[in-house]
Amino acid sequence: MTHNQPTPDMPRCIVMHAQDNVAIIANDGGLPAGTLLPNGITLVDAIPQGHKVALADLREGDAIRRYGVTIAFAAQDLPRGSWINERVTRMPASPALDNLPKATIQAPPMPAITDRYFEGFRNPDGSVGTRNILAITTTVQCVSGVVAHAVARIRRELLPRYPNVDDVVSLEHIYGCGVAIDAPDAIIPIRTVRNIARNPNFGGATMVVSLGCEKLQPERLMPAGSIAIASQSPDVVVLQDDAHVGFESMIASIMATAEKHLAILDKRRREPCPLSDLVVGVQCGGSDAFSGVTANPAVGYATDLLVSAGATVIFSENTEVRDGVAQLTARCATPEVADALIAELDWYDRYLQRGSADRSANTTPGNKKGGLSNIVEKAMGSIIKSGTRTIAGVIPPGERAHTRGLLFGATPASDFICGTLQLAAGMNMHVFTTGRGTPYGLAEVPVIKVATRTNLARRWFDLMDLDAGRIATGEASIQQVGEELFELIIAIASGRKRACAEKLKLHNSLALFNPAPVT
């Protein structure tokens, strides 16, 4: 990547790759027509910040290259200096899923990091929590109103007596009886709810509130052994239990069980853990053209550091890797890993087709306003989060990670569905980049938000944890911001710092991925 000097009002543009024939306008507020860029090009049109300028004369049908790949074709003649946007371009066809390169390239060598630790809560199953939270999961939405009351009372009346426990959260979800539980795809939401309950931050002490008559019976949600608390099955409070007389008796039951679990959790203590116990879910949302220039490359740099330290990093978002599938299959550790990745994307293609949709449904008006012409360009900027290391495995939606290293978690790109599936995969830290801005937060794990632009980081000073916009202005390099992010992940994982969303207690709801019909 090349860019000009960091003088605030000097015209600035960013080229990502030597073969590119477009660059990104970096200046706040964009640049007017007639502006002379330092590379000698004069703008034909006014171009907004983050949008693309043609670096060469393009004829109709010419390939438009960014990140060294074809992101679109010119739909008309476009002289150099023109504004390149979705209205003057055509999207390439989706790459076929057969004949892809599999495990053909080796990651560039990188020294292993062996001397870094974080302070975490080690669990009986070997996983490590970054927070110490009592989770109450539910088998069906019917019980949510009662659980919400119980959680408020536990927080007020019990939590102060267990100072080592950070919080109590209800794992509320919409799943329940209104689902075709035996439909082939229903396994996805069921295993998601199950595996979220096993998230390392809950210390194996998740309790269950059940109604009693629901389809998703507690034994089906949590078969014996799915959570090991001193070899017991998880505690279940059944609201329809004959012993419950009136609302208060239900609250009393939940609180009594909760207190038992709080006592267990309160004994947990942080201890030094190798970085290989980190499971970091990365995603992007509310993206703009800077996402792929500043924040996502910095995340990619941190991903490489984490993987070199033995940590697990999960990148996701099916529609945002679909157009770059060949890069990913080539980077897989084995042909089998590549096949698993292809199988997930193929299943997802067919899922979209069944609903008469395709990958182009991913881009939002905000993406386009932010300069992303189409899903291909968005994908190239999204994949960068995965860094350069070998892809060690693939996690089907709702499954838990079984290997360490860099993993592809197959999920929709929806921020909340992706986050929910990464929670199920076992993430104990979440990194989220945003260009347009979102006040995203989860009650279950710390969410570090990285802004793609300095302007956003300044305005949302108490909502953004890190300003990657300094990469565009030249104040910092990708390496510097990537190293800052690496250090921030360690500090927040260790409980020495809290993320913005934690301080403000901003919590988005869980959003299950349910490809099965509801009844």
Within residues 302-341, the interface with Ca ion by CB under 5 A covers: 317
Please identify which residue in 21, 195, 296, 367 interacts with its own copies, judged by CB under 8 A. Answer: 367
CB 150 within 8 A of CB 345: no
Please identify which residue in 39, 223, 247, 402 interacts with its own copies, judged by CB under 8 A. Answer: 247
Burial 209-226 (b: 16+ CB within 10 A, else e): bbbbebbbbbeebbeeeb
Q: Give the count of beta carbons closer than 10 Å to the beta carbon of residue 268.
A: 18
* Binders of Ca ion in range 384-423 (CB under 5 A): 413, 415, 418
Binding letters toward its own copies, positions 43-82, x by CB under 8 A? ----------------------------------------
What's the rounded Cα separation, in Å, for the pair 434 and 286?
A: 5
Candidates 169-177, 252-260, 330-338, 467-475 — which segment interacts with its own copies by CB under 8 A?
169-177
Size of the site for Ca ion (CB under 5 A): 8
- Please calculate the CA angle 300-301-303 and round it to the nearest 5 degrees: 60
240 three-state secondary structure: coil
What's the rounded Cα separation, in Å, for the pair 125 and 21?
A: 52
Sort strands 167-171 and 447-451 into parallel, antiparallel or unpaired.
unpaired
- φ/ψ region of 152 (left if φ > 0, alpha if ψ in -120 to 50, else beta) reads alpha
What's the rounded Cα separation, in Å, for the pair 255 and 248?
A: 10
Partner that binds at residue 219, options its own copies, Ca ion, none, CB closer than 5 to 8 Å by kind: none
Please identify which residue in 81, 120, 204, 285 interacts with Ca ion, judged by CB under 5 A. Answer: 285
Please identify which residue in 9, 98, 115, 242 interacts with its own copies, judged by CB under 8 A. Answer: 242
* Binders of Ca ion in range 29-68 (CB under 5 A): none
- Which stretches does DSSP call E strand in 247-361? 270-274, 279-284, 312-315
Please identify which residue in 369, 400, 404, 497 interacts with its own copies, judged by CB under 8 A. Answer: 369
What's the rounded Cα separation, in Å, for the pair 265 and 285?
A: 33
Minimum CB separation of residue 451 from Ca ion in Å reads 15
Candidates 60-68, 76-84, 99-107, 508-516 — which segment interacts with its own copies by CB under 8 A?
508-516
Binding letters toward its own copies, positions 113-152, x by CB under 8 A? ----------------------------xxxxxx-xx---
* Binders of its own copies in range 381-420 (CB under 8 A): 412-418
Please identify which residue in 12, 52, 215, 268 interacts with its own copies, judged by CB under 8 A. Answer: 215
What's the rounded Cα separation, in Å, for the pair 499 and 190?
A: 30
Q: Does 29 bind its own copies (CB under 8 A)?
A: no
Q: With 0-12 CB in 10 A as exposed, 13-18 as middle and 19+ as buried, what is 158?
A: middle
Pick 142 or 485: Cβ nearer its own copies: 142
Minimum CB separation of residue 146 from its own copies in Å reads 5
What's the rounded Cα separation, in Å, for the pair 279 and 392?
A: 14
Q: Does 300 bind its own copies (CB under 8 A)?
A: no
Q: Does 94 bind its own copies (CB under 8 A)?
A: no
Q: Does 187 bind its own copies (CB under 8 A)?
A: no
Q: Does 156 bind its own copies (CB under 8 A)?
A: no
Minimum CB separation of residue 490 from Ca ion in Å reads 24
The set of residues, in sequence order, having a beta carbon less than 8 Å from that of 129 and lying 6+ positions away, is 120, 121, 123, 200, 201, 202, 203, 268, 428
Pick 217 or 276: Cβ nearer its own copies: 217
Pick 284 or 456: Cβ nearer Ca ion: 284
What's the rounded Cα separation, in Å, for the pair 236 and 156?
A: 22
Minimum CB separation of residue 374 from Ca ion in Å reads 14
CB 311 within 8 A of CB 154: no
* Binders of Ca ion in range 155-194 (CB under 5 A): none
What's the rounded Cα separation, in Å, for the pair 339 and 489?
A: 32
Partner that binds at residue 284, options its own copies, Ca ion, none, CB closer than 5 to 8 Å by kind: Ca ion
CB 66 within 8 A of CB 380: yes
Candidates 19-27, 110-118, 335-343, 460-468 — which segment interacts with its own copies by CB under 8 A?
460-468
Please identify which residue in 182, 225, 230, 231 interacts with its own copies, judged by CB under 8 A. Answer: 182
125 three-state secondary structure: coil
Q: With 0-12 CB in 10 A as exposed, 13-18 as middle and 19+ as buried, what is 484?
A: buried
Q: Does 292 bind Ca ion (CB under 5 A)?
A: no
Structure tokens at 294: 């500043």
Size of the site for its own copies (CB under 8 A): 86
Minimum CB separation of residue 362 from Ca ion in Å reads 8
Binding letters toward Ca ion, positions 422-451, x by CB under 5 A? ------------------------------
